[in-house]
Amino acid sequence: MSPYHPPLRPTPPHSMSAVSPQTITPLGVPAVSPSPLMFPLSAEEITAQVRVALLEDEAFNDVSTVATVVSGRHVRCAIVSRRDGVISGVAMAVEAFKQLDPNISIRVDADDGTRVRGGTTVMVLSGHARGILSAERTALNYMQHLSGIASLTWKFVQAIEGTNAQILDTRKTTPGWRHLEKFAVRCGGGLNHRMDLRSGVLIKDNHLAAIGGDIATAVSRARQLALPGTPVQVECDTIDQVEAAVAAGADWVLLDNMSPERLRDAVQRCAGRCITEASGGVSLDTVRAIAETGVDRISIGALTHSAPALDLGLDFDGL
Catalytic residues: 137, 172, 204, 235, 256
d(CA 120, CA 123): 9
Long-range CB contacts (within 8 A, 24+) of 65-74 = 65/129, 65/130, 65/133, 65/134, 66/130, 69/129, 69/130, 69/133, 69/319, 71/128, 71/130, 72/128, 73/128, 73/129, 73/130, 73/319, 74/126, 74/127, 74/128, 74/129
Of 83, 90, 254, the residue nearest 154 (C-alpha): 83
What residues have CB less than 8 Å from 221, skipping those under 6 apart? none
Q: Burial of 263 by CB count in 10 Å (0-12 exposed, 13-18 middle, 19+ buried)?
A: buried
Count other Cβ atoms within 10 Å, centred on residue 90.
29
User: What residues contact residue 302 under an 8 Å CB cut-off, 6+ apart?
Assistant: 152, 282, 283
Selection from 95, 85, 215 nearest residue 154 by Cα: 85
How many angstroms separate the CA atoms of 250 and 219, rounded? 7
Q: Evaluate the CA torsion angle 239, 241, 244, 250 in order and state its sign.
A: negative
Reduced to 3 states (helix: H, G, I; strand: E, B; else coil), residue 301 is coil
